[in-house]
A = this chain, B = another copy of it.
Amino acid sequence: MDNEKEYICGEKCPHYKKINEVKLTEPTDKQIEKISDMFKLFSDNTRLRIICSILNTELCVCDLCELLNLNQSTVSHQLQLLRNAKLVKYRREGKQIYYSLQDEHIEKIISLSLEHILEEEGK
């Protein structure tokens, strides 16, 4: 029986009622995985700078290299990850390939986080 499990702490804690309530609203493992994967892509300086660069415009790979002073290989590798996650879309025009954000959620999330740290700075 579940009741017979030995818990880390005594009878007051864990608070089973609360725990059961929280359980109902928790994202599924799959959802957690997807969200954390997305945040993982936002969590690297290089990728974040790339994302911020194309928040409101499209840029080609060498624009990004020049703008961010990065190796072409580095940029392409990171763009591949963003592409695979469908966070960015791209179109070819002659030799160049232009990248831009896939949808507005990305923009919103980044803006919100920027807001957050700006507020922190103000304190």
- A residues at B contact (CB < 8 Å): 7-9, 12-15, 18-19, 21-23, 25-27, 31-40, 42-45, 48-49, 52-53, 55-57, 59-60, 62-63, 65-67, 72, 86, 95-96, 103, 105-106, 108-110, 112-120
Contact = CB atoms under 8 A, between A and B. Distances in A.
Dominant SS at the A interface? helix
Contacts of A27: 52, 114
B14 A62 contact: yes
Contacts of A14: 60, 62-63, 65-67
A37 B120 CA distance: 14
A72 B35 contact: no
Contact of A67 (B22, B108, B109): B22
